[in-house]
């Protein structure tokens, strides 16, 4: 099991563009959470997906949206990119649904740079 | 609102010295507290959680509800402990992380 995988590893976009990041959860996990980690900061919760629905959301604008597929993989979409969206985007998966009491396993992240 | 504060960005200790990484939290309910660690060029991973009351790699952390703290401790630091440490709180079904403390163990 490769654990949580994310693609791409790095990405450079221009202001105003749109981006899609992808995440495949660890085998047996059905819940995916996305985090944004700016330089020098801790991860900030964006949202969580379970059963193909957004279950919880952090303080992020509607420009940030997501999707979960029947195979539990997930996408994070960001529209109208701003310079401030430059960060490491982390995906984490866990084996439970909304109770979320089990350990989260993190992916390596996607480094997004907006110029 | 839930908040996690790690007051130290960097903590340098000598090998064999005791380590204490501070974490304070703000949360109105009963929190779940965690410590995550990120070694150089590795992904973020769970170190320990308060409900397990376990010792991992010699580290322990006790939840002090009176002081709203969850400090991470180890009696004797090892060089391999050098890493970034994040305290995290799970409440209202979302996880809030602190800004992290870089632990540097000097040989």
Q: Which pairing describes strands B32-38 and B60-61: parallel, antiparallel, or unpaired?
A: unpaired
How far apart (Å, rounded) are the C-alpha atoms in residues A65 and A46?
9
Residue A47 has what pLDDT?
95
Query: Six-digit token pair at A85?
Result: 């969206």
- Of the pLDDT bands very low, low, confident and very high (cuts 50, 70, 90), residue A101 is low
Query: Six-digit token pair at B9?
Result: 């960005």
Residue A102 has what pLDDT?
67
Helix, strand and coil content of chain A, in percent to the nearest 5, comes to: 5, 50, 50
Per-10-residue mean pLDDT, chain B, length 107: 94 97 93 93 91 85 92 97 96 88 97
Between positions 29 and 88 of A, the ones with CB within 8 A of B are 33, 35, 40-45, 48, 55-56, 58
- Element containing residue A48 per DSSP (H, E): strand A44-50
Residue B105 distance to chain A (closest CA, Å): 20
Average model confidence (pLDDT) for chain A? 93
Give the pLDDT confidence of A34-87 residue by residue, as tens digits: 999 999 899 999 999 999 999 989 999 999 999 999 999 999 999 999 999 999
Residues 6+ apart with CB under 8 A from A87: A36, A37, A38, A39, A112
- Of the pLDDT bands very low, low, confident and very high (cuts 50, 70, 90), residue A100 is very low
Residue given tokens 């130290």 in the structure block: B8
Q: Which residue of B6, B88, B93 is in closest CB contact with A98?
A: B93
Contacts of A50 in chain B (CB under 8 A): none
Burial of B9 (0-12, 13-18, 19+ CB in 10 A): exposed
| Longest alpha-carbon distance in chain B | 42
* Interface A-B: count of C-beta contacts within 8 A: 44
Report CB contact under 8 Å: B97, A40: no
Find how far residue B30's CA is from the centre of its chain: 18
Burial of B68 (0-12, 13-18, 19+ CB in 10 A): middle
Q: What percent of chain B has pLDDT over 70?
A: 99
Which residues of B touch chain A, with CB atoms under 8 Å apart? 4, 6, 32, 43-46, 49, 86, 88, 90, 92-100
Residue A49 has what pLDDT?
94
**Spatial CA neighbour of B49 closest among B59, A2, B8, A15:** B59
């Amino acid at each position: 099991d490769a654990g949580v995988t994310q693609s791409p590893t790095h990405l450079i976009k221009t202001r105003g563009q749109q981006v899609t990041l992808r995440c495949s959860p660890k085998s047996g996990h059905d819940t995916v959470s996305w985090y944004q980690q700016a330089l020098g900061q801790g991860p900030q919760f964006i949202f969580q997906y379970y059963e193909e629905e957004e279950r919880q959301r952090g303080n992020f604008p509607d420009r940030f949206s997501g999707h979960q597929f029947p195979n539990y993989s997930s996408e994070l979409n960001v529209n109208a990119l701003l310079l401030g969206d430059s960060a490491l985007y982390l995906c984490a998966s866990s084996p439970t649904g909304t109770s979320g009491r089990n350990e989260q396993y993190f992916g390596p992240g996607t480094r997004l740079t907006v110029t | 609102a839930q908040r996690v504060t790690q007051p130290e960005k960097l903590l340098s200790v000598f090998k064999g010295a005791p380590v204490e990484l501070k974490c304070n939290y703000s949360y109105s309910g009963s929190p779940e507290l965690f410590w995550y660690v990120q070694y150089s060029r590795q992904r973020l991973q769970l170190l320990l959680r308060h409900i397990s009351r376990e010792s991992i790699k010699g580290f322990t952390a006790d939840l002090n509800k009176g002081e709203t703290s969850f400090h991470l401790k180890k009696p004797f630091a090892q060089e391999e402990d050098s890493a970034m440490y994040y305290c995290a709180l799970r409440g209202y079904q979302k996880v809030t992380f602190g800004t992290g403390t870089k632990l540097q163990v000097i040989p």
